[in-house]
């Protein structure tokens, strides 16, 4: 079955544009200045512990994950995490966001390390949301609408495994919703014959990115990477 986009998301999604960058691989030039001045030691700034395993006891958030009080957590990767974070922050019902690195094999990775594509991490956004205001399925709709899920390890000119499309589920309900949503998108024919390459995998350790990456576009007075 398909999920209708929540009316309050229509305006948000209509304004979404692809996150633009200036080069095709590695660190983006406008980030390199910051990356070169960032600490070269392992990232110890607020490293996050591993969330509950997918088979953990369900919570009251339905398809939500890692609930805290009245909120739940979802994690997505859809290219440059600056733009992805900005877009999720505009979704009604999203309480907070943070950018970081997940899905890799290196502990406490730095941005410079992730840029090499050798740590296995994806640039990701962890979304804290109120499931009474926005359903996980609506976050999935936003996710599909903010990037191209048919390009493997690439979003626009940003190339590398760190820019892959992925959904990191925190609960069995999230996994089921993600797989159903992906199947519905494939069946819709929206992307023609192109395969949907988005990975769906359990949420693992999430390493919070360096402070200068958090709400980066907001700090620059920008709405998207391209404007």
Q: Which residues are catalytic?
A: 80
Q: Are 120 and 105 in contact (CB under 8 A)?
A: yes
* Residue 112 structure tokens: 């410079």
Concatenated DSSP letters of 92-153: TTEEEEEEEEESSSSSS--HHHHHTT-S--EEEEEEEE-TTTS-HHHHHHHHHHTS-TTSTT
Kindly report the number of other CB atoms within 10 A of residue 183's CB atom: 13
Beta-bridge partners for 100: 124, 208
Task: Pick the closest to residue 166 from 104, 77, 82 (CA basis).
Answer: 77
The helix or strand, by DSSP H or E, that contains position 200, with its residue range, turns out to be strand 199-202
Sign of CA dihedral 145, 102, 63, 224: negative
Return the structure tokens found at 227: 């404007």
């Amino acid at each position: 079955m398909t999920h209708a986009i929540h009316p309050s998301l229509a305006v948000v999604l209509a304004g979404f544009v692809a996150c633009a960058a200036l080069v095709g691989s590695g660190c983006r030039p406008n980030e390199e200045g910051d990356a070169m001045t960032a600490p070269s030691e392992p990232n110890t700034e607020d490293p996050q512990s591993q969330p509950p395993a997918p088979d953990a006891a369900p919570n009251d958030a339905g398809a939500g994950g890692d609930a805290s009080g009245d909120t739940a957590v979802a994690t997505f990767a859809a290219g440059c995490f600056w733009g992805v974070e900005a877009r999720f922050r505009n979704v009604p019902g999203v309480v907070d966001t943070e950018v970081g690195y997940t899905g890799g094999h290196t502990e406490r990775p730095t941005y410079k390390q992730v840029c090499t594509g050798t740590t296995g991490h994806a640039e990701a956004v962890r979304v804290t949301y109120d499931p009474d205001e926005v359903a996980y399925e609506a976050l999935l709709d936003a996710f599909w609408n903010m990037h191209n899920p048919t390009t493997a390890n690439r979003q626009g000119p940003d190339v590398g495994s760190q820019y892959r499309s992925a959904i990191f589920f925190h609960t069995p309900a999230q996994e089921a919703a993600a797989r159903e949503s992906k199947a519905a998108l494939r069946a819709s024919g929206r992307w023609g014959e192109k395969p949907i390459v988005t990975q769906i995998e359990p949420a693992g350790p999430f390493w919070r990115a360096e402070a200068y990456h958090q709400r980066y576009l907001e700090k620059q007075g920008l709405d998207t990477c391209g404007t």
